[in-house]
Amino acid sequence: MPPLSARIGGILTGLALLVTILHQYDADPRLALAAAGLLLPALALFSLSAPLSRLAFVAVGIALTLWAAATRDDWAAAALTALSRGGFIIALFTALSALRSVAIRSRDILDCGRFLARQPPGRRYLALTAGGHLFGLILLYGAISLLGTLAAESTARETDPDLRRHRLRRMLVAIQRGFAATLCWSPMALSMAVTLSVVKGASWPAAAGLCLVSTGLLMGIGWAQDSIFKPVLATPPPARPVETDGWLRRLRPLLVLLGIVVGGVLLLHLATGVAVTGAVMTVVPLIAAAWSAILPSGGHGRLQALGFRAAQFATRDLAGYRGEIILLFMAGFIGSLGSWLLVPIMQAHGPDLTAVPPLLILAAMVWIIPLTGQIGMNPILAVSLLVPLLPTPEVLGLHPAAMVVAITSGWAISGNTSPFTASVLLVASLGGVGARHAGTVWNGLYALFTGAALTLWVLVAATLL
């Protein structure tokens, strides 16, 4: 059980989600203040039991706030904007975590994962990378934890240590790459939410089709690389039983859930005009609550059982995510306030970026985000800090969708390679290797191939728009 301070922080975080949802439909600044008033004490309570690596981000955020207060008269408004940016990220994370907490307790969802992990070598990579993608849409990086654990279970029975090591590595990178491909296009991904908030004039409907091409490149190149560069084994692997279950029957629960989520989000977006990300944080908790309500109640009334599970989610799940919540909030806050402080400095003393060829800026974004990930910069921080320093797409003569494609492509590569991202840390833990080994050794060549292909695609997309 998390400490009392973290449990209270989890309750405040859940309440902040409700206020942030209201703010999506009513731009009243008092709602933003109310959400910040809930999240700031929650972060303070989380910090009492958070690791030092997370507290370092808090210290940087405080230092930036003091710098802003000492040098700028309008610092309060900028700080509130940064608080709103961080609060929005946490609200989306909380909403998706609510669905994840219900999904991982579903026997049908677990059976889907086991079915994918049981596939024979000829189609295992495709099955797991597609599964990592589909599960990642609703579970975020929980998809890696769920499918990766099932992959580790399936390989634990192998008696040949060499075969077990290679098989586990290939299964884990398939899952990871499938998940990372969601970062290119999913309206439920933090990558898309942050990118749309910093690229002026961008919208998900305008960029989604182009971003799906990036997803196809990431998944297709991963499959091709796995097929071409197969490990050489000292002894042939033993024959495995043929999987006879039908794919549609086994994957139906996951596909139905995805259909409900995506359909609900699009309907609400079209009916109300609320942003897609706002529709996500509205619809997803409602689906999680409805799903939780129909689960066995243990002899209690449905409403009583639902209330108990909601309280358990706030005090156990959200409290357990306190390190992630601090990191995500502070990355958004630091990026927003830091870019606000740096923009006038760049304008006065920095290079004239309007003189740089626009296509070169687009290509650079594909590489800068994963490169900064190697030195500890979370993609949320990198994008929130660097993109506002660039000229707007209108000034560059680019369509905003082209900028979205470039940023999310780089974000996806960082999700496969940065030893400081949750996805790489999870894969490294499950594979029994260091995070940098999992990111750069297991995925280094893949990053070079996909980086080259995505750079070319970004340039093509920019000329088509």
Tens of pLDDT, residues 23-44: 999 888 889 889 999 999 999 9
**Is 413 part of any domain?**
no
Residue 434 or residue 165, greater confidence: 434
User: Which pLDDT does position 215 carry in this prediction?
Assistant: 97
In a domain, 444, yes or no: no
91 within domain boundaries: yes
> Distance between CA 322 and CA 330 in Å, rounded?
12
Residue 411 belongs to a domain? no
Nearest CA to 193 among 278, 292, 254? 278
Q: Number of structural domains, the chain?
A: 1
pLDDT, one tens digit per residue, over 333-374 is 999 999 999 989 888 887 888 899 999 999 999 999 999 999
- By the 10 Å C-beta count (0-12 exposed, 13-18 middle, 19+ buried), 37 is classed as middle
User: Above 70 in pLDDT, residue 297?
Assistant: no
Domain that holds residue 97: 4-203+222-231+246-349
Q: Is residue 422 part of a domain?
A: no
Using alpha carbons, select from 136, 137, 132, 94 the residue that is nearest to residue 321.
94
- What integer pLDDT is reported at residue 49 of this predicted model? 93
pLDDT at 242 over 60: no
Return the DSSP state at 281. H
Q: Is residue 284 part of a domain?
A: yes
Per-residue burial over 291-320, b if 16 or more Cβ lie within 10 Å, else e, is bbeeeebeeeeeeebbeebbeebbbbbbbb
Structural domain includes residue 392: no
Domain assignment present for 356: no
pLDDT over 70 (residue 57): yes
What share of residues in the chain are helix, strand, coil (percent, to 5)? 80, 0, 20
Tell whether the model's pLDDT for residue 244 goes beyond 70: no
The Cα–Cα gap between 11 and 281 comes to 17
pTM for this predicted structure: 0.91
